[in-house]
Amino acid sequence: MRHIAIIGSGPAGYYTAEAAQKQWGDDVRVDVFDMLPVPYGLIRTGVAPDHQSIKGVSKRYEATALSDNVRFVGNVMIGKDLSVAELQKLYDAVVIATGAPHDRKLDLPGENLGNVYGSAAFVGWYNGHPLFADLDPDLTGDTAVVIGMGNVALDVARILSKSRAEFAGSDIVAHALDVLDTSRIKRIVVLGRRGPHQIMMTPKELGELSHLTRAAPRVDPADLPEEGEDALLEPGLRKSVNHLRSFAAIPESHYADYGIEIEFDFFASPKALIGTDKVEGIEVERTKVEAGRAISTGETYIIPAGLVVACIGYRSSPIPDVPFDEREGKFANDEGRILPGLYCVGWARRGPSGTIGTNRPDGFSVVEKIAEDIASGTLGHGGKAGRAGFDSLAAERGLDVVTFRDWKKIEEAENARARAGAPREKFVDVAEMIAARR
Ligand code: NAP
């Protein structure tokens, strides 16, 4: 019997569990740990609440979680409740699948002013992540600046634009809906330090901006390169740029019908956040792009803004005694191998890029590495205590483990208290989640 511990129950974790099942069938036992009492990581607290079809992938993870040889071990934090070294004594292989839950820093003056948030915090707030449920952003200023030209920036701009009615069928948490109702934002500036040909936004997500009831996108036609240059782009990016071209063609009269403008500000690199306690504006430097790189021009301007959300990427959370690549913000690894018997997968391995589905081949690839290491004898010859060993240690330490069956009760309670038309109303507090399983 092989015993595998996976730290993190998001997409990377469950795809790895699925791959382990396919590889070893009945000869493997997999424990999937999560520091929260609820599973699915990014699917629950990262994917936008109005993208329910993407969240539907959790049904696939549930099928894995419900099989006899995979177990969910919630409410246990590795690195605090027990160490990676202790896990390694109990399991043949330990796989870190903790994603990249922290914001990359802007490293700019004024970054710590009030109402300046990173996307991990802001997205966590409207998705009900217990760590960020208390964020309470102030949306009463008339301008918000969203930094970054990726899909997370689009998520944030879209969520800030939608009316309550447009959240029908979503699982946005009640506290966020209530604050969004107080919003007086009229202008959302999406700031990109490079140009339209360098955006990271995908076509479907950009296209959604054309279907908002009270917001319309605005692109300055002067920012777009000659149309002929689009031919050199890869097809997905070309489609995205087509959306930008259609936004640039919107007649001025159209905006009178919309209360909110989502304005793309290209060639604009943030320099400083301005304000005394709360942010009041952002200083930006005009750039030009040469050979794909942003070059300073020395020209600066200020955008007055009452809210700034930096959507500029994420970092993994280091775990004591596990080698970490500080520069890249992910675990130091060679194709998923960290140390003998210790692996990483998903964003913890490769950094925050790709779609949810990218994690599937990642999961299969790390299991292949484990199989190779078993075959070469690097992982010893089995005989580890596995889940029985963990259970004894958990009892000794008085850990309050939340099982998958417990999670199903929590889920039932969340579904039962959903507002009309919504799939669920999430608990945003760990104690409430734990109480709901009883
Ligand atoms: P991303 O796609 O890497 O975009 C990050 C953006 O931030 C880039 O435009 C980048 O500009 C900019 N940036 C980075 N550092 C900056 C700085 N110091 N100052 C100004 N701008 C800076 O990251 P993301 O939006 O966080 O998304 C992460 C991953 O999740 C991506 O793979 C994304 O596609 C995926 N995702 C998918 C969906 C979906 O499919 N619906 C939704 C959300 C997220 P440069 O290019 O100039 O560096």
352 CA → ligand 1 middle, Å: 8
Mean pLDDT of the chain, nearest integer: 97
Mutate to test the pocket of ligand 1, among 200, 206, 296 (most ligand atoms within 8 A of CB): 200
Residue 96: Cβ within 10 Å count: 30
pLDDT tens, 299-313?
999 999 999 999 999
Stretch 333-349: mean pLDDT, rounded? 98
Stretch 66-93: mean pLDDT, rounded? 96
pLDDT tens, 176-211?
999 999 999 999 999 999 999 999 999 999 999 999
pLDDT recorded at residue 380: 84
CA distance 203 to 206: 5
> 33: which strand partners?
7, 73
Split into its structural domains, the chain has a count of 2
Stretch 158-177: mean pLDDT, rounded? 97
Mutate to test the pocket of ligand 1, among 43, 312, 347 (most ligand atoms within 8 A of CB): 312
118 and 198 housed in the same domain: yes
82 and 115 housed in the same domain: no
154 and 33 housed in the same domain: no
Residue 258 structural domain: 102-314
CA distances from 386 to 1, 3, 196, 376 (A): 9, 5, 52, 21
Last residue of a domain, one of 276, 299, 314: 314
> 283: which strand partners?
272, 302
pLDDT recorded at residue 66: 94
Which is nearest to 30 in space by CA: 119, 91, 108, 101? 91
Residue 438 has pLDDT above 90, yes or no: no
Tokens of 128: 């009900």
Residue 383 has pLDDT above 90, yes or no: no
121 and 191 housed in the same domain: yes
Which is nearest to 190 in space by CA: 179, 200, 181? 200
pLDDT recorded at residue 102: 96
356 CA → ligand 1 middle, Å: 15
What Rg do the C-alpha atoms of the chain give, in angstroms?
A: 23
DSSP state of 149: S
Specify the ligand 1 atom closest to the Cα of 198: 46
Query: Looking at residue 230, which CATH number applies to its domain?
Result: 3.50.50.60
Longest Cα–Cα distance of the chain, Å, equals: 73
Using an 8 Å Cβ cutoff, are 97 and 5 in contact? no
187 and 199 housed in the same domain: yes
In this prediction, residue 324 has a pLDDT band, given cuts at 50, 70 and 90, of very high
- Residue 64 corresponds to which amino acid? T
CA dihedral 248, 251, 257, 262 (to 10 degrees): 10
pLDDT recorded at residue 134: 97
pLDDT recorded at residue 381: 80
18 and 96 housed in the same domain: yes
CA distance 347 to 362: 10
332 and 415 housed in the same domain: yes
Residue 382 has pLDDT above 90, yes or no: no
302 CA → ligand 1 middle, Å: 23
Specify the ligand 1 atom closest to the Cα of 199: 9
Residue 315: Cβ within 10 Å count: 21
Atom 9 (ligand 1) nearest CA? 149
200 CA → ligand 1 middle, Å: 6
Instruction: Please name the helix (run of DSSP H) or strand (run of DSSP E) that holds residue 406, with its range, or none.
Output: helix 404-416
CA distances from 342 to 225, 325, 345 (A): 47, 15, 11
CA distance 16 to 34: 14
The SS3 call for residue 34 is: strand
Instruction: Please name the helix (run of DSSP H) or strand (run of DSSP E) that holds residue 4, with its range, or none.
Output: strand 2-7
208 CA → ligand 1 middle, Å: 17
194 CA → ligand 1 middle, Å: 12
Last residue of a domain, one of 314, 331, 351: 314
343 and 284 housed in the same domain: no
Cα 221 to its chain centre, rounded Å, is 32
pLDDT recorded at residue 160: 98
Using an 8 Å Cβ cutoff, are 17 and 41 in contact? no
Residue 5 has pLDDT above 90, yes or no: yes
Mutate to test the pocket of ligand 1, among 147, 151, 273 (most ligand atoms within 8 A of CB): 151
CA distance 150 to 79: 32
pLDDT tens, 231-287?
999 999 999 999 999 999 999 999 999 999 999 999 999 999 999 999 999 999 999
pLDDT tens, 46-70?
999 999 999 999 999 999 999 999 9
Mutate to test the pocket of ligand 1, among 126, 152, 156, 283 (most ligand atoms within 8 A of CB): 152
CA distance 230 to 72: 47
Report the percent of the chain where pLDDT is more than 90. Answer: 98
> 5: which strand partners?
31, 94
56 and 74 housed in the same domain: yes
Tokens 């959240």 sit at which residue? 167
pLDDT tens, 99-121?
999 999 999 999 999 999 999 99
Which is nearest to 216 in space by CA: 176, 249, 174, 167? 249
Atom 42 (ligand 1) nearest CA? 151
152 CA → ligand 1 middle, Å: 6
Pocket of ligand 1 (CB under 6 A): 106, 147-153, 155, 192-194, 198, 200, 202, 205, 270, 311-313, 352-355
Tokens of 244: 């930008």
CA distance 395 to 52: 38
Atom 30 (ligand 1) nearest CA? 353
Using an 8 Å Cβ cutoff, are 247 and 265 in contact? no
Report the percent of the chain where pLDDT is more than 70. Answer: 100
176 and 195 housed in the same domain: yes
Using an 8 Å Cβ cutoff, are 396 and 25 in contact? no
135 and 281 housed in the same domain: yes
120 CA → ligand 1 middle, Å: 12
Query: Looking at residue 352, which CATH number applies to its domain?
Result: 3.40.50.720
297 CA → ligand 1 middle, Å: 23
351 and 365 housed in the same domain: yes
Tokens of 263: 């304005």
CA distances from 218 to 190, 215, 250, 269, 414 (A): 10, 10, 8, 19, 38
Last residue of a domain, one of 314, 338, 357: 314
